Structure 1
Protein backbone atom coordinates (compact mmCIF):
# COMPACT_ATOMS: atom_id res chain seq x y z
CA UNK A 1 0.00 0.00 0.00
CA UNK A 2 2.27 2.83 -1.22
CA UNK A 3 1.81 6.37 -0.03
CA UNK A 4 3.51 9.15 -2.00
CA UNK A 5 3.53 12.77 -0.84
CA UNK A 6 4.27 15.29 -3.59
CA UNK A 7 5.07 18.82 -2.49
CA UNK A 8 4.87 21.70 -4.94
CA UNK A 9 5.03 25.45 -4.51
CA UNK A 10 1.66 27.18 -4.46
CA UNK A 11 1.75 28.72 -7.93
CA UNK A 12 -1.61 27.90 -9.37
CA UNK A 13 -1.43 24.24 -10.39
CA UNK A 14 -4.81 23.43 -11.87
CA UNK A 15 -6.99 20.52 -10.81
CA UNK A 16 -6.25 18.93 -14.21
CA UNK A 17 -2.49 19.23 -13.64
CA UNK A 18 -2.81 17.71 -10.18
CA UNK A 19 -4.89 14.84 -11.59
CA UNK A 20 -2.14 14.23 -14.16
CA UNK A 21 0.50 14.14 -11.41
CA UNK A 22 -1.58 11.67 -9.41
CA UNK A 23 -2.12 9.44 -12.44
CA UNK A 24 1.55 9.63 -13.46
CA UNK A 25 2.90 8.78 -10.01
CA UNK A 26 0.44 5.92 -9.70
CA UNK A 27 1.39 4.58 -13.15
CA UNK A 28 5.08 4.76 -12.24
CA UNK A 29 4.57 2.68 -9.09
CA UNK A 30 2.53 0.16 -11.07
CA UNK A 31 5.21 -0.14 -13.77
CA UNK A 32 8.31 -0.12 -11.58
CA UNK A 33 7.14 -1.85 -8.41
CA UNK A 34 4.10 -3.75 -9.68
CA UNK A 35 1.89 -1.98 -7.12
CA UNK A 36 -1.89 -2.16 -7.19
CA UNK A 37 -3.26 1.25 -8.25
CA UNK A 38 -6.37 0.68 -6.12
CA UNK A 39 -4.23 0.76 -2.98
CA UNK A 40 -1.75 3.43 -4.08
CA UNK A 41 -2.22 6.79 -2.37
CA UNK A 42 -0.86 10.06 -3.79
CA UNK A 43 -1.21 13.29 -1.83
CA UNK A 44 -0.26 16.70 -3.21
CA UNK A 45 0.65 19.43 -0.75
CA UNK A 46 1.00 23.00 -1.95
CA UNK A 47 3.57 25.00 -0.01
CA UNK A 48 3.59 28.79 0.15
CA UNK A 49 6.59 30.31 -1.64
CA UNK A 50 7.93 31.89 1.55
CA UNK A 51 8.01 28.43 3.15
CA UNK A 52 10.16 26.83 0.43
CA UNK A 53 13.92 27.11 0.19
CA UNK A 54 16.59 25.98 -2.27
CA UNK A 55 20.34 26.24 -1.83
CA UNK A 56 19.99 28.11 1.44
CA UNK A 57 17.72 30.76 -0.08
CA UNK A 58 13.98 31.37 -0.26
CA UNK A 59 12.86 29.93 -3.60
CA UNK A 60 11.96 33.32 -5.09
CA UNK A 61 15.47 34.66 -4.35
CA UNK A 62 17.05 31.45 -5.65
CA UNK A 63 15.11 31.77 -8.91
CA UNK A 64 16.02 35.43 -9.24
CA UNK A 65 19.73 34.69 -8.79
CA UNK A 66 19.58 31.73 -11.17
CA UNK A 67 17.84 33.85 -13.81
CA UNK A 68 20.39 36.66 -13.35
CA UNK A 69 23.29 34.20 -13.69
CA UNK A 70 21.75 32.66 -16.83
CA UNK A 71 21.33 36.14 -18.32
CA UNK A 72 25.03 36.89 -17.77
CA UNK A 73 26.16 33.99 -19.95
Structure 2
Protein backbone atom coordinates (compact mmCIF):
# COMPACT_ATOMS: atom_id res chain seq x y z
CA UNK A 1 0.00 0.00 0.00
CA UNK A 2 1.20 3.49 -0.80
CA UNK A 3 1.39 6.35 1.68
CA UNK A 4 -1.41 8.68 2.68
CA UNK A 5 0.40 11.38 0.70
CA UNK A 6 0.01 9.31 -2.48
CA UNK A 7 -3.73 8.94 -1.85
CA UNK A 8 -4.11 12.66 -1.16
CA UNK A 9 -2.10 13.57 -4.27
CA UNK A 10 -4.22 11.28 -6.44
CA UNK A 11 -7.49 12.72 -5.14
CA UNK A 12 -6.23 16.29 -5.55
CA UNK A 13 -5.29 15.51 -9.15
CA UNK A 14 -8.90 14.41 -9.75
CA UNK A 15 -10.09 17.73 -8.28
CA UNK A 16 -7.74 19.71 -10.53
CA UNK A 17 -8.98 17.71 -13.54
CA UNK A 18 -12.56 18.68 -12.64
CA UNK A 19 -13.65 15.06 -12.23
CA UNK A 20 -14.49 15.58 -8.57
CA UNK A 21 -15.31 18.85 -6.86
CA UNK A 22 -14.24 17.82 -3.37
CA UNK A 23 -13.42 14.85 -1.19
CA UNK A 24 -13.31 13.88 2.45
CA UNK A 25 -11.77 10.78 3.98
CA UNK A 26 -11.67 9.01 7.29
CA UNK A 27 -7.87 8.94 7.00
CA UNK A 28 -7.07 9.17 10.71
CA UNK A 29 -9.60 6.48 11.59
CA UNK A 30 -8.55 4.34 8.62
CA UNK A 31 -4.99 4.19 9.91
CA UNK A 32 -6.37 2.64 13.09
CA UNK A 33 -9.11 0.41 11.63
CA UNK A 34 -7.66 -0.41 8.22
CA UNK A 35 -10.93 0.57 6.49
CA UNK A 36 -10.67 3.63 4.24
CA UNK A 37 -13.80 5.54 3.24
CA UNK A 38 -13.68 8.40 0.77
CA UNK A 39 -16.64 10.70 0.19
CA UNK A 40 -16.55 12.54 -3.11
CA UNK A 41 -18.69 15.20 -4.77
CA UNK A 42 -18.62 14.92 -8.58
CA UNK A 43 -17.37 17.85 -10.63
CA UNK A 44 -19.83 20.04 -12.53
CA UNK A 45 -21.53 18.06 -15.26
CA UNK A 46 -19.78 14.80 -14.26
CA UNK A 47 -21.87 11.66 -13.88
CA UNK A 48 -21.69 10.62 -10.20
CA UNK A 49 -21.08 6.96 -10.98
CA UNK A 50 -18.35 7.82 -13.48
CA UNK A 51 -16.64 9.99 -10.83
CA UNK A 52 -16.79 7.09 -8.37
CA UNK A 53 -15.38 4.63 -10.92
CA UNK A 54 -12.56 7.04 -11.79
CA UNK A 55 -11.53 7.39 -8.15
CA UNK A 56 -11.70 3.62 -7.61
CA UNK A 57 -9.57 3.02 -10.71
CA UNK A 58 -6.93 5.56 -9.66
CA UNK A 59 -6.79 4.14 -6.13
CA UNK A 60 -6.45 0.61 -7.52
CA UNK A 61 -3.34 1.76 -9.39
CA UNK A 62 -1.89 2.57 -5.96
CA UNK A 63 -2.97 -0.76 -4.51
CA UNK A 64 -5.57 0.98 -2.34
CA UNK A 65 -8.95 -0.57 -1.58
CA UNK A 66 -11.52 1.91 -0.31
CA UNK A 67 -15.23 2.46 -0.08
CA UNK A 68 -15.99 5.45 -2.30
CA UNK A 69 -19.29 7.18 -1.55
CA UNK A 70 -20.72 9.88 -3.82
CA UNK A 71 -22.24 12.89 -2.04
CA UNK A 72 -23.96 16.01 -3.26
CA UNK A 73 -21.08 18.07 -1.86
CA UNK A 74 -23.21 20.54 0.08
CA UNK A 75 -23.85 18.65 3.29
CA UNK A 76 -22.22 15.32 2.63
CA UNK A 77 -25.47 13.44 2.07
CA UNK A 78 -25.20 10.59 -0.40
CA UNK A 79 -26.50 10.81 -3.94
TM-score (ref. length: structure 1): 0.41
Larger Rg computed on CA atoms: 1
Which structure has more helix as a fraction of its residues? Answer: 1
TM-score (ref. length: structure 2): 0.38
